[in-house]
Amino acid sequence: MTVVLLIDAIVVISLVVASRRRLEDALPVFCFFLVLMPLESRIVIPGLFDLGTDRVAILTLLVLFFLRGKRGNSGAIPLKRLMYLHIAWAICSTLYSLSVATSMKQLIGQVIEYYLLYYILFRVISDTRTVYKILYAMMIAMGLCSILGLLEAYASWSVLTIFPSNLWNTYGRVDPLYIEWGRGLRIRSTFPHPILFGDALAMGIPIALYLLSTRKQAWPKFVLWVTLLLMFWAIYKTSSRGPWLAVGVSSVFLFLLVRNRVRRYLTVIGLFVVMVLVTRPGVWQTIANLYESTQDKASPIGSSYEYRHALTHAITRAVAKDPGRFMLGYGLGTFREKGLDIDFLGDVRHWYTCDNNWDVFLYETGYGGLLIVGALLISPLLMTLRNYQRLPRPEKYLSGVFFISLAGFYFMLLSVAGYSWGQQGFMAWIFISLSVVYPRIAARERRASATLKTPLEVALAVPAPQIPAVQFL
């Protein structure tokens, strides 16, 4: 408990100090902590809810927003209608839930906190430099997570052991180290599960590569190169197939969409990977063995794919039992608490894990909730693609990178319930927020620089009126 209180105090003080000049300066610090802090960093309030460090950070930022918040963007908020609709639907689903108390807690964590984060970032950010600072801070956090993960692999020590043991996610083991039959030790760092850590790394690697291509100073470039090396090393040690595939596909799209030094860096990294595979046959053998196990339905690794098919079938049958469940589902958070009978490999067992978040949306909020949250998540993806097509260079490239990272996250939701379990959910909503606000600010700054003639005029400039951004509901 003392460790958690100390961390919470550091977070609150850091945000207050960083916001002394303006609240916008505290946003990179805020996002750094959201990415770094584990679920184990929380205070359990019996009968109510858990007060995690992420929640402490959001509440602190909210208070600072009301006290010092200077609106960087006014006017209509993109996606707000879909957010209102999703909140209303989630409330109805909660009232019809198998466990109203559990669903209420999930409503706060999965819905309200994400949308509150989006609102604050959209309203406060007024400078493209803040967007880049936030992304840089998030990558530094991922670099630290990678170091902590590699300590698990090579020192057999988890940073999660500094927290009270009753807060650990041990999966039936005696400590937080995640050892799996057939794969050995898989690193998880500060994330709840190795695949969730892999998801976060897969989302971050395209961002880190793009930032590297935009930096000119030697020190930031050095830090980003080290961070990238650590992230690639860490994602290999997670032994997670979905994130590996996401990184490979994301790299291809990054090469096609971003036409700057990213292509050169990707070529260098590709040659380095080939060199490692040639000089370290054990690395290639590990990947090959994992692929072969995936094809073997009798192995635990191969059967995990079969489980996902059985899971989808069981959930569609469960929600079809009556019209209420068909539309509203069983309530947020109820799958992990109540579980579901699933016919898997001819054996009907009661399962509490749902390795497909799109199936979770269906089970917990019904077909209505699945359609709403699907529209809510796909809309910013289409917005980033449209902004990539409309914005001039180099502004368009960041929109392209946001498209790649978000598309990768949505793809990885097919293999793990990672939307509201772990820090990668916050990462996704930070990227959504930045992808929405960045085109507005970039267009405003470009217009201002085109009409001003001297550095003094630029420094004293009043921001030009905003141009409408692409909006979906």
pLDDT tens figures, 41-59: 998 887 667 889 999 999 9
Q: In angstroms, rounded to a whole number, what is the distance separating the alpha carbons of residues 33 and 30?
A: 5
Does 444 fall in a domain? no
Q: According to the model, what pLDDT value does residue 294 have? A: 59
Bridge-based pairing of strands 42-44 and 340-344 is: unpaired
* Residue 146 and residue 262 share a domain: yes
289 within a domain of the structure (yes/no)? no
Distances (CA, A) of 397 to 47, 72, 391, 407: 48, 23, 9, 15
Q: Are residues 364 and 332 in the same domain?
A: yes
Indicate if the pLDDT at residue 139 is higher than 60. Answer: yes
420, 106 in Cβ contact below 8 A?
A: yes
Residue 91 is assigned to a structural domain of this protein: yes
**298 vs 165, more confident:** 165
The whole domain housing 9 covers: 1-70
pLDDT in tens, 75-105: 789 999 999 999 999 999 999 999 998 899 8
Q: Are residues 300 and 431 in the same domain?
A: yes
Q: Flag whether 288 is in a domain.
A: no
Alpha-carbon distance of 120 to 176, in angstroms, equals 34
One domain for residues 337 and 362: yes
- pTM over 0.75? The answer is yes
Structure tokens belonging to residue 403: 């498209």
Contact assessment for residue 176 and residue 169, using Cβ atoms and an 8 Å cutoff: yes
Q: Is the pLDDT of residue 467 over 50?
A: no
Which of 154-158, 251-255, 291-295, 339-343 shows the lowest per-residue confidence on average (mean pLDDT)?
291-295
**What pLDDT does 470 receive?**
45
Provide the b/e sequence for 158-181 (b: ≥16 CB within 10 Å). bbbeebeeebbbeeeeeebbbeee
Query: Strand runs (DSSP E) across 2-157, as ranges?
Result: 42-44, 50-52
Q: How confident is the model at residue 411 (pLDDT cuts 50, 70, 90)?
A: very high
Are both 328 and 236 inside the same structural domain?
A: no
Burial class (CB in 10 A: 0-12, 13-18, 19+), 248: exposed
Assess whether pLDDT exceeds 50 at residue 415: yes
Within-domain flag for 287: no
Indicate if 90 and 66 belong to the same structural domain.
Answer: no
Task: Give the chain's radius of gyration (CA, Å).
Answer: 22
Answer whether residue 288 shows pLDDT above 90: no
Mean pLDDT of the chain: 88
Nearest to 369 by CA among 93, 45, 180: 93
Q: How confident is the model at residue 463 (pLDDT cuts 50, 70, 90)?
A: low
Q: What angle do CA 241, 242, 245 make, to 5 degrees?
A: 85
Give me the mean pLDDT over the 221-245 stretch: 93
Residues in the chain: 473
More confidently predicted of 11 and 465:
11
Residues 85 and 150 occupy one common structural domain: no
Q: pLDDT value at position 280?
A: 75
Q: Are residues 160 and 35 in the same domain?
A: no
Q: Is 184 helix (H, G, I), strand (E, B) or coil?
A: strand
CB 29 within 8 A of CB 137: yes
Residue 312 CB coordination number (10 Å)? 17
Q: How many domains does the chain have?
A: 3
- Mean pLDDT to the nearest integer, 294-311: 63
**What are the start-end ranges of the E strands in 112-213?**
178-180, 184-186
Quote the pLDDT of residue 472. 43
Cβ neighbours, 10 Å, residue 431: 24
Which neighbouring-strand residues pair with 52?
42
Q: Residues with Cβ < 8 Å from 233, sequence gap 6 or more?
A: 146, 150
406 falls within a domain: yes
Q: Both 199 and 161 in a single domain?
A: yes
Residue 401 has, within 13 A of its CA and on its CB side, a CA count of 27
What is the distance, to the nearest Å, from the Cα of residue 75 to the centroid of all Cα atoms in its chain?
27
User: What tens digit of pLDDT does each residue of 354-405 get?
Assistant: 889 999 999 999 999 999 999 999 999 999 999 999 998 888 999 999 999 9
pLDDT at 471 over 60: no
Q: pLDDT band at residue 108, thresholds of 50, 70 and 90?
A: confident
**Domain co-membership, 301 together with 276:** no
Q: Which of 226-230, 428-432, 455-459 has the lowest mean pLDDT?
A: 455-459
Which residues are CB-contacts of 26 (< 8 A; sequence separation ≥ 6)?
15, 16, 18, 19, 61, 64
CA distance 462 to 473: 30
For residues 344 and 413, membership in a common domain is answered with yes
Burial class (CB in 10 A: 0-12, 13-18, 19+), 6: exposed
Is residue 469 situated within a structural domain?
A: no
Q: Are residues 373 and 309 in the same domain?
A: yes
CB-side exposure of 59: number of CA atoms within 13 Å? 11
Q: Give Cβ neighbours of residue 29 (< 8 Å, ≥ 6 apart).
A: 14, 15, 18, 137
464 belongs to a structural domain: no
Q: How many CA atoms lie within 13 A of 52 on its CB side?
A: 20
